[in-house]
Amino acid sequence: MLILPAIDLYDGCAVRLLKGDYNNMTVYSREPSDIAKRFETAGAEYIHMVDLEGARDGTTPNIEAVKRIVKSTDLKVEIGGGVRTEEIIERYLDIGVSRVILGTAAVTDEKLLEGAVKRYGASVAVGADIKDGYIAIKGWLEKSEITCDEFFERLQSLGVATVICTDISKDGAMQGTNRELYRRLSEKYGMDIIASGGVSSLEDIRVLKEMKLYGAILGKAYYTGAVDLKEAIEVAK
């Protein structure tokens, strides 16, 4: 199982939000590429990034910070947040990003999703942000009318390869991951599922690995020192 350490971007900085709240933000570094280099030294292969301003506004204001990470490390980069057009997908792929994550657009614009999967294949992933059993959109600010299972069935039928699945209620709360949700999804669907939100111990990683998930994102637990990245990568192997 892959461990994907995370960097959330806001105003060029590496930050974390608590439960998706833009008013509850901690700044960890003003130079995200320094953190990315530490990830690489610890043995990470992939890095998960979210442009928080993009997620809210549908733009790419932090693309220069992403570019610096692509250029200064050998990490494979996946990024989401504000990816709502093919032009933005291409903008990220052109600077060397490995995988671009459609979030809100995958819910609201099925034509874009279908076209992107056909054109870019596994270079396009989908973020499924789950709030009370429904898919949340626009930087978690709105809840859609689509249930988690309806959404996953749609993605599988379109040929989506990878889904980054976040339980918003667990994100950044350091209270453990939603094991039942990930177990059920991994048993029911054939896509590569990356667990995100609430991974707060090596035990969480062991359990997710046993479920044969494709990956797990390590965010706040890394930044607070609760989980050592190198150990997490070893446990996940």
Q: Which residues pair with 29 in a beta bridge?
A: 14
The answer to whether residue 129 is catalytic is: yes
The label of the residue with tokens 């390590």 reads 218
d(CA 154, CA 146): 10
Annotated active-site residue in 8, 51, 167, 204: 8
Phi, psi of 40 (to 5 degrees): -65, -45
Which of 42, 37, 41 minimizes the C-alpha distance to 14? Answer: 37
Annotated active-site residue in 129, 167, 171, 204: 129
Q: 3-state DSSP call for residue 197?
A: coil
Which residues, at least 6 apart from 229, have a Cβ–Cβ distance to it below 8 Å? Answer: 3, 5, 38, 39, 42, 43, 44, 218, 222
The answer to whether residue 192 is catalytic is: no
Q: Under a CB-based contact definition with an 8 Å cutoff, are residues 87 and 111 in contact?
A: no
Amino acid letter for position 6: A
The first and second tokens of residue 237, run together, are 């192997």
Which of 193, 204, 198 minimizes the C-alpha distance to 165? Answer: 193
Active site (catalytic) residues: 8, 129
